[in-house]
Structure 1
Amino acid sequence: MEAIDASTIQGGRDKRASTPGAANNFLKHMSAMYKWAISNNSIHITKNPTRDVPRLRNKSDGHHTWTPEEIEQYRNRWPLGTRERLALEVLAFTGLRRGDVCRVGPAHVKDGVISFSTEKGEVEIHLPILLPLQEAIDATPHGVSYIGKEDKTPYTKESFGNWFRECCVAAGVPGRAHGMRKAAATLAVENGATDSQLKAIFGWTTDDMPSLYTRKANRKKMAEEAIKTLQRNP
């Protein structure tokens, strides 16, 4: 393993350069493997060769962020009482990832607050249930999880993602599950959420993601204010 150095890792990254996301995932998984080996005192691995290999810039913004118009279009297609509508409302009013959406259910609720440890990072979150979400929950039959199959058994995150994609296609919208999480974060920032509040809602443990959203929101606000300077005063 010591024969693998930064140039080897970079070569593996560059082989995947045509798909930056895959290249960066390669670096991510290799880094995790080396960190695990070092933390477990492997006699064969003493340094992490991924540290000096930067990730590739990915010009894509990733998953499409839902617009308010697309959310309403989806709601018009799937009325209250349908599993499809409940899925949207859980995503919209919790900002949970797919894996957590598939798990959350009545057992996680006490005094109107959803509390549980997230699948990714095992972060404890506490989310008060807002009225629109409660109305959707009350209107829709469910099992141990709010979002389940027709027989009320839970989805896996992969099967949920596939099913929700079909729901979106039927509604004629381009959004997907993760895009709703992005839309929720965007709305929270536009409504004044701080970085600390975003971390509490979305289970982020570093400032990277909250800062990304707040920077975008600040640029938008500054542009809206600055555009007035382009007008010629009489």
Structure 2
Amino acid sequence: MTNIELPYVEKNKSRHGTMRYYLRVDGKRICRLPDDINSEEFARKYWEERNKLTVAPLTDVEKPGLTTIVKPYSFRWLCVQYQTSDAFLRLDSTTQAKRRGVIEGMMLEPLSENDTRPFADIPLSKMTVSHIEVLKTRKRDTPFAADERLKALRQVFDTKKDGKQIVPNIAKGVEAYRVHTDGHATATADELAKFLEHHGPQSKAALYLSISMYTGFRVSDLAVLGPQHRKNDEFRLRLFKNRNRTPVDIIIPLHPILKAVLDQHEVSGLVYLRTEFGKPFSVKGLGNRISDWFRQAGLPHLTSHSVRKGLATDQAHNEATDNMLEAMFGWKDAKTSKIYTRNAERARLARAAVAKINWDGIGQKLLGYGEAE
């Protein structure tokens, strides 16, 4: 959702170039809104504050936010049923929090410009495919966020009670945008070379990048990765994502450059990446620190996932097969027949996948050898 679609949003650029947003009604600044205008957090805060106000032409009566009373067989009631279901509780805590935020943002939104009743209170018997379309298209400027909404809605409407589906899944009748991206840019060799030149090969940032470049681990895995996961010249660990639902144990051989980098850095304790106080990062804390490192290097559009995508792209361009990438990243998207061969071949294929890492030779910068050949 953009500010064009949201009345009463004031934009103000700070002297540092940061765009700030405020809710402003009748010439009065009500509150500051979150910085990312396309986020669920922004939508949630906007409608929470908006529903407290008397704002023409949407309403003539002050509209309160959601009450503590959940109306039976309303959209909100169904969302509560979903969030107490096994399907939801089996998700990782981070996935639960993200899904909950998406759902809460939708519940607070009004049905339309002329009907300020929140989606939360609409009876399920009155909810149609058109309502699902509205919730999706309000995020059309950010297709990935729109598809995340639709994914959440499909899960909500698939909720069962006593083994039976509560209502027909009307969300399945809505077509996703199916964007071929997860919202993260793909890091290139030139961009990572710029990162290394800014931070230097002996920095903590370079240690992070070297591990990420040659393993593709998610931030949730990087936050706990340490010497205890290293067995000779291999990393062996259970991936954090889906660890409680469909756990994946992987073995990734150490690339020679990564092995040399780890030998250059002093390591104490149970993790490789530590705070200035010698403590392990939280997953969120490490993610924020990595974002800071990219911003400091003049690469604000990149994230740790960008490096993961860049690694997969680099390997694919160097003729890594689908099976190699599945073994390397722990992906489980292959058809059933591959399940029987994957476990036996995982370590062998991962070793072959590591040999396909090239990064256009910039790995030498991690070793402090100067310009790549």
TM-score for the superposition, normalised by structure 2: 0.50
- Map of 1:200 onto structure 2: 327
Question: Can you list the C-alpha shifts for 1:118-144, whole angstroms capped at 9, x where unaligned?
Answer: 122332211111121122222223432
Aligned equivalents of 2:323 and 2:178: distance in 1?
27
Q: Secondary structure at the match of 2:173?
A: coil
> Conserved in 2, the CA contact under 8 Å of 1:86 and 1:136?
yes
Code of the residue aligned with 1:135 in structure 2: it is A
Question: Can you list the C-alpha shifts for 1:179-227, whole angstroms capped at 9, x where unaligned?
Answer: 101110011101111111111111221159xxxxxxxxxxxxxxxxxxx
Code of the residue aligned with 1:136 in structure 2: it is V
C-alpha deviation, 1:100, in angstroms: 1.3
In the alignment, structure 1 residue 77 sits paired with structure 2 residue 198: yes
**After alignment, is 130-139 or 50-59 more displaced?**
50-59
- Map of 1:22 onto structure 2: 145
Larger Rg: 2
- Map of 1:115 onto structure 2: 236
Higher RCO (C-alpha under 8 Å, 6+ residues apart): 1
The equivalent position to 1:126 in structure 2, one of 251, 259, 264, is 251
**Would you tell me which structure has more helix in proportion to its own residues?**
1
- Map of 2:262 onto structure 1: 137
Question: Can you list the C-alpha shifts for 1:149-186, whole angstroms capped at 9, x where unaligned?
Answer: 12232223322222112212222335321110111001
Output aligned runs, 1:141-220, within 5 Å: 141-142=266-267, 143-174=269-300, 175-207=302-334
Q: Secondary structure at the match of 1:51?
A: helix
- Going from structure 1 to structure 2, the CA distance change for 1:25 and 1:131 (only over 3 Å counts) comes to same
* Matched residue count: 206
Code of the residue aligned with 1:70 in structure 2: it is E
- Map of 2:183 onto structure 1: 62
Code of the residue aligned with 2:154 in structure 1: it is S
Q: Secondary structure at the match of 2:252?
A: strand
> Conserved in 2, the CA contact under 8 Å of 1:100 and 1:119?
yes
> Conserved in 2, the CA contact under 8 Å of 1:63 and 1:178?
yes
> Percent identity at matched positions?
28
- Going from structure 1 to structure 2, the CA distance change for 1:84 and 1:26 (only over 3 Å counts) comes to same
**After alignment, is 176-185 or 4-13 more displaced?**
4-13
> Conserved in 2, the CA contact under 8 Å of 1:20 and 1:58?
yes
> Conserved in 2, the CA contact under 8 Å of 1:102 and 1:160?
yes
C-alpha deviation, 1:57, in angstroms: 4.5
**After alignment, is 99-108 or 165-174 more displaced?**
165-174
Runs of 5+ consecutive residues of structure 2 not aligned to the other structure: 1-77, 79-123, 336-373
> Conserved in 1, the CA contact under 8 Å of 2:144 and 2:181?
no
- Map of 1:211 onto structure 2: none
> Conserved in 1, the CA contact under 8 Å of 2:144 and 2:182?
no
> Conserved in 1, the CA contact under 8 Å of 2:144 and 2:183?
no
In the alignment, structure 1 residue 10 sits paired with structure 2 residue 133: yes
- Map of 1:213 onto structure 2: none
Aligned equivalents of 2:155 and 2:165: distance in 1?
16
- Going from structure 1 to structure 2, the CA distance change for 1:188 and 1:148 (only over 3 Å counts) comes to same
Runs of 5+ consecutive residues of structure 1 not aligned to the other structure: 209-234
> Conserved in 1, the CA contact under 8 Å of 2:187 and 2:307?
yes
Aligned equivalents of 2:279 and 2:154: distance in 1?
36
- Going from structure 1 to structure 2, the CA distance change for 1:124 and 1:61 (only over 3 Å counts) comes to closer
Aligned equivalents of 2:271 and 2:154: distance in 1?
34
Q: Secondary structure at the match of 1:50?
A: helix
Q: Secondary structure at the match of 1:32?
A: helix
